[in-house]
Chains A and B, each alone.
Chain A
Amino acid sequence: MAKRLLLIAALLCAGVAHADDAPIVSKAAPVQRVDNPDGFTEPLKSLKFNPGLDAQEFERSSLNALNVYDPLESWNRRVYHFNYRFDEWVFLPVVNGYKYITPSFVRTGVSNFFSNLGDIPNLVNSLLQFKGKRSMETTGRLIINTTLGIAGLWDPATKMGLPKQSEDFGQTLGVWGVGDGAYVMLPGMGPSTLRNFTGDMVDNFVLPEIALTTPQTILVFALRAVETRASLIPQESLLNESLDPYTFVKDVYYQRQLYEVYDGNPPIKEEPEADDYDDDFLENL
């Protein structure tokens, strides 16, 4: 539960790598331990509190975060319930069956294969967004993985320093200046916005036609959905810990979207130094 906030941020996008084994040396200031006869160290004594203990920062932060444009909420909540049941009764059994019958190296291969196919829309969208360097790198990935990686079953490009860089048509529309549109919950698919839904349709059904026939496209879409669902199982318990999972999902979705549109560099408001802040404050008086 305490990790919820950090995890929201961490969920912004996924990737796997290994941390170095280094001793844990925290940069946070050491916590002063008070000597009590019974051994209690009074950790809260070491903290600085607001003088009146009446700051409303928690309330301000939380209320602020709850303000998301959601005119379709009534419809969305019903669909969320439908999806929850659909997931429980149809989708998860399929996913578990798939996981049961497929050895993990096969699944990695399948996952890589789709990931390679997914580089086609990534390339097209990079081009449409006029990102020259990215387009070159993605082209490189496609060539290496399709040849050395044997039709994309392995992913040698990442090891050679060309990591996957996702660009979807929703983002392209965003770069072209199309607004988000309302938040929508799609039956059987999950959260999206009107813009991203349009983008997904283009990415999943129009762009693959460059390389595949229509029935193949649909098969690929279904298998990819199963793969994606399987990869989300470890994060499920987060949902159980919130009273209103609908709102939680919406929050995470928007955070992630913000992150992706800016390619991991959302504009950061600079923190004024403490002194500037005081000056501003004095000037305003």
Chain B
Amino acid sequence: MLRFLRLAALSGGLFLSASVMAVDIDPSSYGFPLTNPFEATIATTPPDLRAKVPDDADIDQDDYSLTLRPDREFTLPDNFWAVKKLRYRLAKQDHPAPLIFLIAGTGAPYNSTLNEYLKRLYYGAGYNVVQLSSPTSYDFMSAASRFATPGVTKEDAEDLYRVMQAVRAQQNKLQVTEYYLTGYSLGALDAAFVSKLDETRRSFNFKKVLLINPPVNLYTSITNLDKMVQTEVKGITNSTTFYELVLQKLTRYFREKGYIDLNDALLYDFQQSKQHLSNEQMAMLIGTSFRFSAADIAFTSDLINRRGLITPPKTPISEGTSLTPFLKRALQCDFDCYVTEQVIPMWRARTDGGSLLQLVDQVSLYALKDYLSTSKKIAVMHNADDVILGPGDLGFLRKTFGDRLTVYPYGGHCGNMNYRVNSDAMLEFFRG
């Protein structure tokens, strides 16, 4: 009996020594009002509780474009006129200042809502800010990516690194004191790999790197997201599709309210009304949005590499060609389908074989475990109820990052980034 107790104490002690170090934010003092992770993911922080950030009118910013793959000008169909050059956005301080790179999440362009928010936050704190598209966004894939098959994180990081170097070359008049890096969601995973790459290439010598809600096991994350369109949604019938259902609910809500009101608080009001969405419906909405990203990725990757899975090779595509038939096909491909049909075959051909498990190990945070556990400049902010995590993922982060991990009790996936407590913590990390 005594031996059992001692064993228990020992194992408890071992467990604690590994896990007690992470900073766990107490739910009662945290004050984030949305305890429902699906609501938090969709609506993000209520406007009153967001951090105060400067208005667009007070920011000296511009969009620039880079020609990184001049060949694509000729090989891409005319329909891609908008994305033959890679655009990015730079917000400049008028004095020498540090520069921070922001990497967007899955499928998101440089000017996604969250990237814009981070720009305002860091610009307001005195940084030059460069906003970059995710390597999974169609503009990055067509204008900057060598293989245009995102998902192999190391390759994506190399593409990103090249973009960052090109940005610096183009902005050679900008006075930069030091470099920082951050990203959210998939962009956080990318940031970790970019930081690793920087240790050998030494172009930027990033002083600090912050990962916000990164996927730990990329395969777990895409499986979760694919699964979310499979929730059992009440109200879908033979004659009513899911979209019609959501639109009907909104219409009824507006009718009961008597007027239409397009402000930031719309979603909270809506969720407090009789017409609110159920958890399953919200999950389906989140899943839907990610399925659109998956479709965009599958379509673009297939087209650029002429794989013929979605767009038949040699189909003449001019500026006026309808993309609808191809989009219809792409919409039927989820992340798993994209990985199986496009990523794995390319990765096998380039690296001489390997199983799905090996791929997952290489493209997830596991691949950087040693680097991340010793590199004191990298920190992670994550949420206990993030929908892209699986069991054991937080445990991995706790072991690897120790006290450089902060776990927030609520927020879903990236829903608390604009909460003032989180925003303060982000600024504090780079300041300290």
Binding site for B on A (CB under 8 A): 1-6, 8-19, 21-31, 33, 36-44, 46-50, 53-55, 57-66, 70, 73-75, 77-78, 81, 84, 163, 237, 240-247, 255, 259, 264-266, 268-269, 271-272, 274, 277
Contact = CB atoms under 8 A, between A and B. Distances in A.
B51 interface: no
A47 B113 contact: no
A155 B227 CA distance: 50
A16 B331 CA distance: 35
Given A6-B267, A19-B269, A62-B331, A47 B276 contact: no
B322 interface: yes
Nearest to A163: B259
A38 B394 contact: yes
Given A26-B276, A243-B300, A10 B260 contact: yes
Nearest to B232: A48
5 contacts: A14-B262, A19-B265, A24-B272, A36-B391, A59-B332
Contacts of A11: 262
Interface string B15-58: 10001000010000000011111110110001010000000000
A60 B241 CA distance: 7
Contact of A31 (B36, B230, B234): B36
Contacts of B289: 1-2, 4-5
Given A46-B279, A60-B241, A77-B319, 17 more contacts: A4-B289, A6-B246, A15-B259, A19-B268, A24-B46, A28-B276, A28-B282, A38-B19, A40-B392, A40-B395, A43-B37, A49-B227, A53-B230, A54-B230, A66-B327, A265-B251, A269-B240
Chain A interface main SS type: loop
B428 interface: no
Given A49-B227, A271-B235, A77 B271 contact: no
A132 B305 CA distance: 61
Nearest to A82: B319
B279 A28 contact: yes
Nearest to B300: A243
Contacts of A75: 320
Given A38-B394, A243-B299, A30 B36 contact: yes
Contact of B230 (A21, A49, A241): A49
Contacts of B34: 24, 26
Residue picked from A1, A29, A62, A78, most chain B C-beta under 10 Å = A1
A265 B255 contact: yes
Contacts of A31: 35-38, 279, 385
B287 interface: yes
B412 A43 contact: yes
Contacts of B9: none
Given A1-B293, A74-B320, A50 B394 contact: no
A85 to B, nearest CB: 9
B247 interface: yes
A237 B230 contact: no
Residue picked from A8, A19, A36, A274, most chain B C-beta under 10 Å = A19
B200 interface: no
Nearest to A46: B279
Nearest to A58: B229
Contact of A269 (B81, B227, B239, B288): B239
Contacts of A24: 33-34, 46, 268, 271-272
A242 B299 CA distance: 13
Contacts of B319: 77-78, 81
Nearest to B107: A1
Residue picked from A11, A15, A47, A70, most chain B C-beta under 10 Å = A47
